[in-house]
Amino acid sequence: MNDKTKLADLRKSYERGSLDVDDVASDPFAQFGHWLNEALSAEVPEPNAMTLATVGPDGRPSTRIVLIKDYDERGVVWYTNYRSRKGRELADHPFAALQFHWVELERVVRIEGKVEKVSDAESDTYFASRPLTSRIGAWASNQSEPIPGRGTIVAKAAEYGLKFGLNPPRPPHWGGYRLIPDRWEFWQGRASRLHDRIVYEQDGNGGWTRSRLSP
């Protein structure tokens, strides 16, 4: 049996839960909080990890894993280098999609919307809470830019460590983004590939409509 045949034969029956329009919260932020808390309680690996999808000026999409650091009724927040590929793409096209995949719970959450930078004060507060090595790393890394080898980034980290000591300030090119959702989808795996999909969309009056999608 070759590798391609093995891939084609992979199967899993999803039978851990169910989801219906009448079961979910009227507000998607509340529903997200409920599911996130369940993922945390279940101790799934990296429950805060989410895929971020952006689009470049040429229309080509790109994805990467980032970590959620905050959320409230304003949106979902993560932090990164503004000069990175994702930062440059968001500067040109300030819309994105996020996806959480909690495999052990057979759940996916998809979020779409406009993206904006968080305030300097929010970025400063979060940056100050990071481990010292991470704060130094924010200075050392020209994220997404080619380097000749790992020694380059290690040397730059040492250089900035000597320069700033225990109190590196937040780099001006580093900070937070907030995705302001206008669409959410909550996916619960079900048997026979008849999955449950509940979508929330803005109704134009500050509220949300809920509907079921075909799997």
- The domain spans of the chain are 14-130+173-213
pLDDT tens string for the chain (215 positions)? 567 778 888 888 888 889 999 989 999 999 999 999 999 999 999 999 999 999 999 999 999 999 999 999 999 999 999 999 999 999 999 999 999 999 999 999 999 999 999 999 999 999 999 999 999 999 999 998 999 999 999 999 999 999 999 999 999 999 999 999 999 999 999 989 889 999 999 998 889 999 999 99
What superfamily in CATH does domain 14-130+173-213 come from? Answer: Electron Transport, Fmn-binding Protein; Chain A (2.30.110.10)
- Give the DSSP per-residue string, the chain: --HHHHHHH------S----TTTS-SSHHHHHHHHHHHHHHTT-SSTTEEEEEEE-TTS-EEEEEEE--EEETTEEEEEEETTSHHHHHHHHS-EEEEEEEEGGGTEEEEEEEEEEEPPHHHHHHHHHHS-HHHHHHHHH--TTS--S-HHHHHHHHHHHHHHHTT-PPPPTTEEEEEEEEEEEEEEE--GGG--EEEEEEE-SSS-EEEEEE--
**Residue 178 falls in the annotated catalytic set:** no
pTM of the model: 0.92
Q: Which residues are annotated as a binding site?
A: 11-14, 64-69, 79-80, 85-86, 126, 130, 134, 143-144, 187, 193-195, 197
